Amino acid sequence: MRYLPLTDNDRADMLSAIGVGSVDDLFVDVPDAARFDGDFDLSDHMAEYQVEAKIAALAGRNISTADVPSFLGAGAYRHHIPATVDHLVQRGEFLTSYTPYQPEISQGTLQALFEFQTMVALITGMDVANASMYDGATACAEAVLMAQRITRRNKAIVSGGVHPHYREVTETQSRYLDIEIDACAPDLDGREDLAGEIGEDTACVVVQNPGVFGHVRDFGPLAEACHAAGALLVVVVTEAVSLGAIRSPGEMGADIVVAEGQSLGNAQGFGGPYVGLFAAREKYVRQMPGRLAGETVDEEGRRGWVLTLSTREQHIRREKATSNICTNSGLCALAFTIHLALLGEDGFRRLAALNHAHAVDLASRLEAVAGVEVLSDTFFNEFAVRLSGSARDAVDALAARNILAGVPAARLFGGDAGLDDILLVAVSELTRPEDMDALCAGLAEVLA
Amino acid sequence: MSGHSKDLSRPAPASPAGGIDTVHGHQALRLEEPLLFEIDNPGAVGVDLPAPNEAENRLGGLERVAPVGLPSASEPEIVRHFTRLSQKNYAIDMGTYPLGSCTMKHNPRLNEKMVRLPGFANLHPMQPVATTQGALELIDNLAHWLKALTGMPAVAMSPAAGAHGELCGVMAIRAALDDREGGPTARRRILVPDSAHGTNPATAAVCGFAVDAIPSDTRGRVDVKAFADKLDDDVAGIMITNPNTCGLFENDMIEIAALVHDAGGYFYCDGANFNAIVGRVRPGDLGIDCMHINLHKTFSTPHGGGGPGAGPVVLSDALAPFAPTPWVVHGDDGFSLVEHGADAGAAKPFGRLKGFHGQMGMFVRAYAYMLSHGRDGLRQVANDAVLNANYVMAQLSDVMTAAFEGPCMHECLFDDRFLKDSGVTTLDFAKAMIDEGYHPMTMYFPLVVHGAMLIEPTETESKRELDDFIAVVRSLVAKVKSGNSDAFAAAPRLTPRRRLDETAAARSPVLRWSPEMPAAEAAE
């Protein structure tokens, strides 16, 4: 029990200072019926090396995406994380600090969040951003709720190009709030036209760029149609690195941009913790959910940072709060900030270009494989292919050969979506030509 | 524009804390650090990447043309920047965090080592389940520990934080009521004590319920009579924190559970303070229907300057069928995942709360902590947390005023009567603690106590640390009595920044750096 500093002598001294005979006397308010004196079906405490061995054994039963050719994406990507990122986020002053409610002794976290907010605003092309959400999917749900608050309309149109998890989380979080989600059918060919669907009751249209099937689209005309009808355009980005290569959602006229920031500085980690990016036009800032770091001055006129606009938040407004969100993804946001700082303007754009070049390479190779049809004419680092058989079967067969071939669309959308033969394949800067060869050869074999 | 010339043009401190003017504003180890955007050195890179092949572009004419506007710097500059920023933070690694209602305990580094094992870090959530058996087993094992420790039959693992767990629990209540009534429930109200965390009423509202406050009684607990009077066909449920935000065990929990169940409602327990009772009380034995567990509090995953958290929710038999997707199942051929409502069999999941399966990184850390402590150690955790809090209360009660009589649980609550007529505010007192090297306690919460000061020492503080803390608080109280309120109003003086103008920050929010707004102008 090496984490517990009190010795039995300490405990005896302290009990006597309190004036009780035993620690049980401090639990007098717990009624007898509420006490548990039995034995838990759990192990006793272990030495550090024993814990390490047990957990390492579990880790060893997984196939690491770093060890085999991997083409998995669909909202979670394996990019290289510079060693500096992980070193800096593990500094105890960042790792073990609390929410920066006492600004005088939290300037490090607050300044980093201010830098994060600025970077998110820059890459999305928006005016302001918050200090992060749980993940991209929950950020998407909060964007729809925010659009309802702004427009006082209660219908959201969700494109069929939006990641199904984002749509599902949005549906879940809107379910009891008088918001109707109009979810479109999967947009496999990237030609869906939503402008005609916008009505007087439309609060927002939610689209994704690149779409879940990979298509890159210009949402400028849709933004115009939204604005003409008094609705907002919410743009989802599930791969933040794409923003280094593609015209930003802000340039296309988006009102709210939400994104998954995992790609920068954060491990795939089997799905979490991730970092939700949330950016908007300045006029909507007081309707934004979540924490915000803001600039101010101290008593001596020196520039400093505080958490601000907290009057929108649950700890002040209780049931009238903008959202119930309390925690953010502070440490993940810090990792994002450090990684993007290391990349800088040139590095960010080069990283994006590398990803795209690898995807173009893979697409050309796959186009030559019998039984594989590349569906997306435009894409960033991920696209959809139609296989001559079940995508799930192909993926399982290739996994048995130590190739992680991608994400079957049916696994995301459910088995009844009619997408059984669709596979999503993603690359990153880490994908090597021999990985692509292995995928093409493997697919050719299992589809033959 | 070079970073260095800009550095020197930064507004110099008007009157630095030490009283000694310096050129940069640097003062020995208290280093001024500009924003990244102000040390921008175009052309510098912190990551070497190979040049991409000249390939055909398939972006459909939508390639980014305009610069992003990101600052550039080399690796050593970035390391120095963030190291300097880190040095402006207080952290649990540096000293006691006597915060109430937000447990800040030692964060073992073993947890960090475990989560960085390649078999967890480089694991994609949508890999075939056959390739993630170890991860799914870990989730299943952790779920078993959570169920055993709480005495509850089911757990939803995906919520990303405590407040997200509340959302999960109240949505499960809503779904169960809708199911029972065959349509949107007619029950409109959730009862929430006036001492509750602000997230509780916010969550109830986000689930479409009206919030009805239950008063606290003179014992700092839910007034059972007032509560019973509010029960009728309109009540969907109650949300009670136990141990509560006054640091006390709600000793009428079992009676309250029976009453709310008789009235047809459900019982949500806010488990933020579970470390006070872990191993000694199973919340399931109290009759609750659901409770979130802040893994980052009770099971020591780091707070990271505000997150990430993880908030799994344990569920009773009545609510378990409504748990959100996804979840892990253990079958004959190993572990698998139920990811869609259509595959849920007899269950009726209310939906999905998060992309993918939950905060796996937090699961690994929490599991490492549980194994390290074991069932015997976790019981000792509760004992020591409660002992430490009562020790602090006993050693301060003659100079400060405890809000309620009797022993407390893992945190002790004082009010500000001892400051009366001194000219020192509760906030001043807290800021004075900063100059003594402590993070302040929680102030002005819970709202039911005037000028509340809530202190949670946690079980990972040694007696020596507690004695130092107690001596500092006692000496500050003596200083209050000596009448020098100006010294308190001026605190903190030894921090990188003095008190910051929060009103100005909110009045005209500056939430990002802009190239057209140089630092000197922004500071005016």
Q: Which of A123, A129, A331 sits opposite B307 (nearest CB)?
A: A331
Q: Is residue B290 helix, strand or coil?
A: strand
Structure confidence at residue B517 (pLDDT):
60
Burial class (CB in 10 A: 0-12, 13-18, 19+), B65: exposed
pLDDT over 50 (residue B6): no
CA torsion sign for A358, A362, A365, A368 is: negative
Mutate one of B39, B114, B126, B463 to test the A interface: name it (highest A CB count within 10 A). Answer: B126
Q: Which of A60, A300, A429 sits opposite B49 (nearest CB)?
A: A429
Residue type, B319: L
Structure confidence at residue B399 (pLDDT):
96
Mutate one of B32, B40, B47, B112 to test the A interface: name it (highest A CB count within 10 A). Answer: B47
Residue in chain A closest to B375 (alpha carbons) equals: A44
Contacts of A121 in chain B (CB under 8 A): 512
B355 contacts A274? CB cut-off 8 A: yes
Alpha-carbon span B213 to B21, nearest angstrom? 53
Structure confidence at residue A314 (pLDDT):
86
Q: Which of A51, A100, A346 sits opposite B372 (nearest CB)?
A: A51
Q: How far is CA B186 from CA A151, B160, B182, B209, B289, in A?
A: 28, 30, 11, 10, 20
Q: Which of A105, A260, A298 sits opposite B439 (nearest CB)?
A: A105
Alpha-carbon span A345 to A144, nearest angstrom? 31
| DSSP-assigned letter for residue B50 | P
Q: Which of B203, B360, B519 sits opposite A271 (nearest CB)?
A: B360
Mutate one of A154, A266, A324 to test the B interface: name it (highest B CB count within 10 A). Answer: A324
Contact A389, A447 (CB under 8 A): yes
Q: Which of B73, B119, B387 sits opposite A11 (nearest CB)?
A: B387
Contact B171, A176 (CB under 8 A): yes
Nearest to B439 by CA among B305, B309, B310: B305
Contacts of B355 in chain A (CB under 8 A): 75, 135-138, 163, 165-166, 169, 260, 271-272, 274
Nearest to B177 by CA among B257, B230, B233: B233
Nearest to B276 by CA among B261, B293, B301: B293
Contacts of A318 in chain B (CB under 8 A): 198, 201-202, 211
Positions of chain A with pLDDT lower than 70, given as ranges: none
Residue type, A163: H
Structure confidence at residue B102 (pLDDT):
85
Structure confidence at residue B26 (pLDDT):
85
Question: Chain A: nearest CA to B285, how far in angstroms?
Answer: 6
Structure confidence at residue B431 (pLDDT):
97
Question: Chain B: nearest CA to A10, how far in angstroms?
Answer: 7
Residue in chain B closest to A137 (alpha carbons) equals: B355
A380 contacts B86? CB cut-off 8 A: no
Mutate one of A37, A46, A97, A308 to test the B interface: name it (highest B CB count within 10 A). Answer: A97
pTM of the entire structure? 0.97
pLDDT over 50 (residue B3): no
Question: Chain B: nearest CA to A112, how far in angstroms?
Answer: 8
Question: Chain B: nearest CA to A313, how far in angstroms?
Answer: 9
Q: Provide mean pLDDT across the span B395-402.
A: 96
B49 contacts A350? CB cut-off 8 A: yes
Q: Which of B78, B89, B407 sits opposite A338 (nearest CB)?
A: B78
Structure confidence at residue B30 (pLDDT):
85
Question: Chain A: nearest CA to B52, how far in angstroms?
Answer: 5
The ipTM (two decimal places) reads 0.98
B355 contacts A138? CB cut-off 8 A: yes
Burial class (CB in 10 A: 0-12, 13-18, 19+), A83: exposed
Q: Provide mean pLDDT across the span B108-113.
A: 98
B308 contacts A271? CB cut-off 8 A: no
Nearest to B363 by CA among A277, A65, A271: A271
Expressed in percent and rounded to 5, the helix, strand and coil fractions of chain A are 45, 15, 40
Question: Chain A: nearest CA to B355, how far in angstroms?
Answer: 5
Contacts of B239 in chain A (CB under 8 A): none
Contacts of B15 in chain A (CB under 8 A): 300
Count A/B contacts: CB-CB distance under 8 Å.
Answer: 734
Contacts of B343 in chain A (CB under 8 A): 415
pLDDT over 70 (residue B456): yes
Q: How far is CA B317 from CA A209, B290, B314, in A?
A: 42, 10, 10
Question: Chain B: nearest CA to A85, how far in angstroms?
Answer: 9
Question: Chain B: nearest CA to A197, how far in angstroms?
Answer: 24
Question: Chain A: nearest CA to B236, how far in angstroms?
Answer: 14
Question: Chain A: nearest CA to B422, how far in angstroms?
Answer: 23
Alpha-carbon span A348 to A325, nearest angstrom? 30
A294 contacts B281? CB cut-off 8 A: no
A297 contacts B501? CB cut-off 8 A: yes
Alpha-carbon span B181 to B177, nearest angstrom? 6
Structure confidence at residue B523 (pLDDT):
46
β-bridge partners, A277: A259
Contacts of B58 in chain A (CB under 8 A): 356, 359-360, 363, 377-379
Contacts of B434 in chain A (CB under 8 A): 102, 104-105
Alpha-carbon span A134 to B158, nearest angstrom? 11
B14 contacts A331? CB cut-off 8 A: no
Helix intervals (H) in B130-288: 133-150, 162-181, 199-206, 224-230, 253-262
> Chain-wide mean pLDDT for chain B?
93
Residue in chain B closest to A325 (alpha carbons) equals: B163
